[in-house]
Amino acid sequence: MNANRLYLARLYDIHCIKRLILYKKCFTGYDGRFCTEDFDGCTSVLCFEDVTCVDVPAPGVGAMCGPCPAGYFGNGQKCDGKQNIMLDCAA
Pairing status of strand 53-55 against strand 5-14: unpaired
| Whole-number pLDDT of residue 1 | 41
**CA 63/CA 60 separation, integer angstroms:** 9
**CA 86/CA 91 separation, integer angstroms:** 13
Give me the residue spans of the domains in the chain.
5-80
| Whole-number pLDDT of residue 20 | 53
* Cis preceding linkage at 59, omega within 30: yes
Domain 5-80 sits in CATH at 2.10.25
Nearest to 75 by CA among 48, 43, 41: 48
| Whole-number pLDDT of residue 28 | 84
Query: With contact defined as beta carbons under 8 Å apart, do 58 and 51 qualify?
Result: no
pTM of the entire predicted model: 0.55
| Whole-number pLDDT of residue 3 | 47
| Whole-number pLDDT of residue 49 | 92
| Whole-number pLDDT of residue 73 | 92
Average pLDDT for runs of 10 along the chain of length 91 = 48 53 74 86 91 92 93 93 58 50
